[in-house]
Amino acid sequence: MKNLKRQWKFIVVLIAGAVGLISQFALHSKSLFSIGNLQFPVHAIIIDIIGILMAISLLLEIFHDWKTGRYGVDILAVIAVVSTILIGDVWAEWMILVMMTGGETLEDYATGQANKELRALLDKTPRIANKLVDGKITEVKVDDLQVGDTVLIKPGQQVPVDGQIVKGTSSFDQSSLTGESVPVTKNPGDELMSGSVNGDVAVEMKVTKAAKDSEYQSIVALVKSSQAQPAKFVKMADRYAIPFTVISLIIGGVAWAVSGDATRFAEVMVVASPCPLLIAAPVALVSGMSSMSAHHIIVKSGPTLEKLARAKTFAFDKTGTLTENQLIVDQVVTDDKSFDQKELQSLAASVEQQSSHVIASSLVKATDKDLIHPVTNLKETTAQGVEGDVDGKHVKVGKLSFVAPGHEKLNVTSTAVYVSVDGKFAGYITLKDKMRPESPKTIERLRRQGAEDIMMLTGDHKQVAEKVAKEAGITDVRSELLPSQKIQAIKDVPKHLRPVVMTGDGVNDAPSLTAADVGIAMGAKGAKGATAASESADAVIMVNDISKVNDAVAISKHTMKVANIDVLTAIGVVIIIELIAFTGVIPAFWGAILQEVVDMITISLGLLAKTKPSDKQFGLEEK
C-alpha cells in the first residue's frame, strides 16, 4: 500500500507539471492574484498546491521516523520545496518534486515482489481431508476436522493435520518439515505431522490436533510472526543524512546572515535538495539487482544487497541445501567371506529394483546396470523389506529385524539396509545424503569474503549432521532442530556477528529465512518446499547451485562499493555547488538545473554496479 502511494505521488507530480506547462505556454495563463512581488498564475497555483501537499506528507513521515529513532534526508527536501514556494520559483520547485518522488518510485520498483512472501506457503496448506465415517469416505475441509476424527491418508497425499496412526504402516517423507533426508516408517501408535507426505500404503489416522494447532499451520504462523517483527536496519543514504543536512543548513544560514537576503538561503537550499542522495543508492541497487538476475539470483529488495554486503554470519540448512537430497552408497560391509562387496551390492540392488522406496531407488541408481540381475518370487513386506530369488539365491533386504533376527545389537548409526542370503546374515549397505560438489568450496570462499561464523541448522540426526558438516568444512553444527529452534538460533547470534544470512530450501526453512536478516532460498524448480521457501526469502537462487551464495555476496559488496562512491561523490559535488550558490551567482532555477546535472552524474555512476565484481569480492583470491 505504501509503494502504491509513492507511485501515485510521482504520477501526480508529473501530471501537475504537464498541466502547468499547458497552462503557461499553450493557454498563456494569467496571474489570478499577487502577493507583493510574487505573481500566482494558474500553473504556479497547481504546482504550489502539489508542493505544499507533498511537503506536509513528508513532514508526517519525518515525524513518524523521528519517533522510531530514524533520521533521513527528507527534511532538506521539505526545506527546498518550501524555499522555492516562498521565492516563487515554480519550475525549480517542480524539478525538486520530480526527483524526490521519482527516487522513491525507483526504490519501490526494486522491492516490487516483497509483499508476496506468504502466498505460496498458504496456497500449499492442506485444505481437504478424507474423513472416515462408519467406514465411508467423506471429503471435508481440514478446518472442520475435530480431535478424535478418523482420517484416511492415501499414498502420495499430505497429512492434513497432526494425528496418530490407528491402522496401517507406511513411510512418510518429512524432509521439507524436519530436514530428515530419508523417509520415516510410521506404525500404528506413531505420531504424524501435518505437511508430511505419505508413501506407498494408505493409512488411517486419528486426529490429535485441530488444523490451527498442527505442525504445518504452526510453521505458517511462525513466518507471519517473523515478518511482523523484522530486524531494524538503517539504509545507507540515511547514514549520511545528518552530516549532510547540518552542513547544508549551515551554508544556507551563513549565506542568509551575510547577505541579509532570505532568497540567498532559498537558493542554497534548492541546490542542497537531497535528490542526488535519494537517487544514488536506488540506481546502484537496481543495477546490482539486475546483475544478480544475470547470475540467476532474484533479489526482492534493495536493502537485501546492503545487508548481504555487510553479512558476518552465514547459516545453512543441510538437506537439499548443502546436500542434494539424494542418497548415495557410502559403505558396503560384508559379514560373510562368501561374498565380496561388489556381489553383496549386486544381490541387494537386484532385489530392490522394483521398489519405489527412496532407499531402494537410490541403491539401484548407485549400482552398475550390469550388476543388476533378474529377480523371481519377489515379495514385499510393508515397512520391513523385500525378498526374492536372484541367481539361485534367496535374498532378503530391509530392516535388520526382518533380514536377520538375532542381530539387533549391531550398532549402525547411518542410514542402512541389511542383507541376508539363504537365511544367513551377509552384511549391510550404508547410504548418505550426497554432498553438493560445490558446497565445500562455497564455505571456503565465504570465509575469504569476510564471513566470521558459518553454521549448519538442521532437523536431521546429530551423527548425520556432523558427518555432512565435516565434509563441508563447517564446525558450528546445530542438529535435531524444530523450525522454532532454528529461529531462536538465528535470534541468538550476537550483534557484533550480524547481519545473519540463512540459506535453505524446505517448508521448514521458511520461518528461519524470514527471521534472518537475509533469507536465501534454493528455489530451483521442482525442489520440495522450494516455493514456500522462495516466497519467504529475500533472495532466491534459481539454479541448483549453492555457490551462487558467493556470487550474491560478491555482487552485493561491489554494488555497495559503487553506491557509497556514488553517494559521496554526489554529496561532494552538491556541497561545492552550495558554496557557489552562497555567493548569490546561481538563481534558484539554475540551481535546480545544476541539480539535474548532478543527478545525471549520479545515475551514470550508479550504473557501474552492473560491472563485474573483482576476484577478491568473489572470494577467489587468498586473503
Q: Are 238 and 306 in contact (CB under 8 A)?
A: no
107 closest CA partner among 300, 380, 302, 247: 302
* Residue 39 CB coordination number (10 Å): 14
DSSP of 228-287: HSPPP---HHHHTHHHHHHHHHHHHHHHHHHH--HHHHHHHHHHT-SHHHHHHHHHHHHH
Q: Are 503 and 317 in contact (CB under 8 A)?
A: yes
Cα angle: 448, vertex 449, 452; to 5 degrees? 80
315 closest CA partner among 466, 121, 499, 555: 499
The 3-class secondary structure across 494-554, one letter per residue, is CHHHCCEEEEECCHHHHHHHHHCCEEEEECCCCCCCHHHHHHHCCEEECCCCCCHHHHHHH
Annotated catalytic residue 317: yes
Contacts of 15 (CB under 8 A, 6+ apart): none
73 closest CA partner among 98, 48, 52, 103: 103
d(CA 382, CA 145): 29
d(CA 596, CA 104): 16
Q: Which of 48, 89, 317, 551 is catalytic?
A: 317
95 closest CA partner among 493, 432, 592, 597: 592
- Which residues are designated catalytic? 317
